[in-house]
Chain A
C-alpha cells in the first residue's frame, strides 16, 4: 500500500506537471483575452508531430527546442491574423473560430502524417532506468519530463513576477485599456501571450508525444482533461491551474493503480457483499476502471459547490 502511494505521487506529479504545461497557457490566454481556446490541445498535438518530423532529420534534442518555437510562431500567426480579426464579432465568434481550428488542424495532421500513429520515440540517451524503488524501476525519461516541466514552471513564474513584460501582462489581466493608455502595445502583448501559451502546449506535445503515443486522436484525448483542469483550478488563475493539475494528475494516476472497489470499502466496515447482491457489477467495479471519469466527476462537483473553481476570480 505504501509503495503504491509513493508511486502514485511520483507518477501523478509527472502527469500533473504535464497537465500544467497545457493548462497554464490556456488559462493565461483566457484571462488576458477572454478567449477559451478550444484548439489548445491541437497545438499540443502539433508539437508532438513537429518534434517527430524534426527528430527524423536531426534527432530529438534539436527538436526539443525547435518544435515549441515553431508552434509558438503558428500560435502568434493564429492570434494576429485570425483571432484579432474575429474579435470584433464577439466572443461567440472567437469560440467558433477556435472550434473550427480544431478540425482544420485535425485534417492537416491526417493529410500530412496519416491516420496511424507515427514512430516518435524516446531518445536512446534517455531510455534507461533512473532508479529502482520497491522492486519497480523508474524510467529516466519520466524524470526528464518532470525536470522540463518544473524548469518551465520556474521560468514562467520568474518572467511573470520579476520582469517588466510580466508586469505588463499582469496589469493587462485587470485593466487592459489602462495599460494601453499608458503607452504599452497591448495587442502585441496579446499576440506574445498567445504565442507563449501555444508554445508551452507544443513543448508538452514534444515531451509527451514519445512517452505516450503520437497519433491523430491525441488532441481529443488531452483537450477535455485540460479544460477540466482550468475550470477546476479557476478560470484565469495560474496558481489554481497548478494545484488543479497536480490534484487531478495524482488522483487519476492513483485511481488507475487501485484494484479496489466499493465492495472492498464496505468490507472494511464489516459488510461483506457477494457477487449475487443487487447491482453487484457496480459494487465490485474497481476504482481503476472508473479512473477516466473521475476528473469529470470532480468538474461537476466543483461547478455545483464552488463555481469559480479553486482559486478563480470569476464565475465560470
Chain B
C-alpha cells in the first residue's frame, strides 16, 4: 500500500536521503533500522510531507509527493514522531481529541479504546500532557495518532529512553493494533522488539537502504549487522 521509490530529501544543501526504495504491504509490520543520523526520521518526515520529498511516494496508488501533510494524513497515514510532541497546556484527553480529524469521531478507535490499551492514560486523563512521564507521553502520542483512524502508522523510535517494562508494553500495543488491521512502519535502533514483531526489515545506511529481508535473514547476516547496525 505504501511504495517509496528513489526518494531524496535535503536540509538546505545537505543531501540526506539519497534514493530510498521501500514498500509496506497491507497488514504488514515493517521495521526500518539503522544507526543514529542515517536518515530514518527524515524518511518518515518526507513520507508525511513535513520535509519536501523529491522522488515518488505512492500510497494506495496516489502520489503523495507535493501534497500537504494534512492531506496526506487524511488519506490514511498516521505519524508518531520520535520526540512525541504532546501538546503542552492541553490535557491528555484534549490531546487525544485533537488526534481525531473532525469533532465527530467516526473512526474505529475511541478514547475509551485508548484508555483500555493503556489504563495509565485514563488515570492521567485530566493531567496537562507536559507533566506526563516519558513513557506516558509515548503512549499518548501513539494513541493520539490512532484516534485519526490511520490505515498505516509510521512510528519513529517509540522505545527510545524507556524502561524495559514500558518497552514491552509498546511492543504489545503495536502487535495489538496490527491485529486490528493497521499496517506499521516502525523505526527502531534497538533490534529486540523490531526483530520480534516485524515481518520484514530494512536497514538504512547513509541515506540509502542497504539491506532488505526477514528478521531471520538479518539474524543470519552477521556482515550487515556488523557494518550497519552494531556500534
Q: In the complex, identify which listed stretch (A151-159, A163-171, A225-233) lies at the interface while the others stay far away.
A: A163-171
Residues of A within 8 A of B97 (CB): 164, 167
Q: Are A183 and B70 in contact (CB under 8 A)?
A: yes
Residues of A within 8 A of B73 (CB): 180-183
Residues of B within 8 A of A187 (CB): 68
Q: Are A181 and B94 in contact (CB under 8 A)?
A: no
Confirm or deny: A174 has a beta carbon within 8 angstroms of a beta carbon on chain B. yes
Min CB gap A131→B, angstroms: 41
Main secondary structure of the interface of A (DSSP, over half): helix
Q: In the complex, identify which listed stretch (B82-90, B159-167, B220-228) lies at the interface while the others stay far away.
A: B82-90
Residues of A within 8 A of B90 (CB): 167, 170-171
Contact of B144 among A167, A180, A182, A186 (CB under 8 A): A182
Q: Are B87 and A174 in contact (CB under 8 A)?
A: yes
Confirm or deny: A298 has a beta carbon within 8 angstroms of a beta carbon on chain B. no
How many residues on the B side are at the interface (Cβ–Cβ under 8 A)? Answer: 25
Confirm or deny: B55 has a beta carbon within 8 angstroms of a beta carbon on chain A. no
Min CB gap A35→B, angstroms: 20
Q: Are B89 and A186 in contact (CB under 8 A)?
A: no
Contact of B94 among A167, A174, A180, A186 (CB under 8 A): A167
Q: How far, in angstroms, from A184 to B98 measured CA to CA in the complex?
A: 9
Q: Are A181 and B89 in contact (CB under 8 A)?
A: no
Closest to A189 in B: B70
CB neighbors of A among B51-102 (8 A): 68-70, 72-74, 78-79, 81, 85, 87-90, 94, 97-99, 101
Q: Are A167 and B70 in contact (CB under 8 A)?
A: no
Min CB gap A188→B, angstroms: 9
Contact of A170 among B89, B99, B145 (CB under 8 A): B89
Contact of A180 among B68, B88, B145 (CB under 8 A): B68
Q: Are A177 and B87 in contact (CB under 8 A)?
A: no
Interface residues on A, range: 10 to 19
Q: Are A180 and B70 in contact (CB under 8 A)?
A: yes
Min CB gap A66→B, angstroms: 30
Confirm or deny: A56 has a beta carbon within 8 angstroms of a beta carbon on chain B. no
Contact of B85 among A170, A173, A175 (CB under 8 A): A175
Contact of B101 among A178, A182, A186 (CB under 8 A): A182
Confirm or deny: B48 has a beta carbon within 8 angstroms of a beta carbon on chain A. yes
Confirm or deny: B34 has a beta carbon within 8 angstroms of a beta carbon on chain A. no
Confirm or deny: A95 has a beta carbon within 8 angstroms of a beta carbon on chain B. no
Residues of B within 8 A of A179 (CB): 87, 98
Q: How far, in angstroms, from A177 to B44 measured CA to CA in the complex?
A: 13
Confirm or deny: B50 has a beta carbon within 8 angstroms of a beta carbon on chain A. yes
Confirm or deny: B103 has a beta carbon within 8 angstroms of a beta carbon on chain A. yes
Confirm or deny: A185 has a beta carbon within 8 angstroms of a beta carbon on chain B. yes
Min CB gap A210→B, angstroms: 38
Nearest 3 A-B pairs (CB), nearest first?
A: A183-B73, A180-B69, A171-B87
- 16 A-B pairs with C-beta separation under 8 A: A167-B90, A171-B98, A174-B87, A174-B89, A178-B81, A178-B87, A180-B68, A180-B69, A180-B70, A181-B70, A181-B79, A181-B81, A181-B145, A183-B74, A184-B70, A185-B70
With A174-B88, A178-B85, A180-B50 already in contact, 4 other A-B pairs whose C-beta atoms are closer than 8 Å:
A181-B48, A181-B81, A183-B148, A185-B70
List residues of chain A with CB under 8 Å of any chain B CB: 164, 167-168, 170-171, 173-175, 177-187
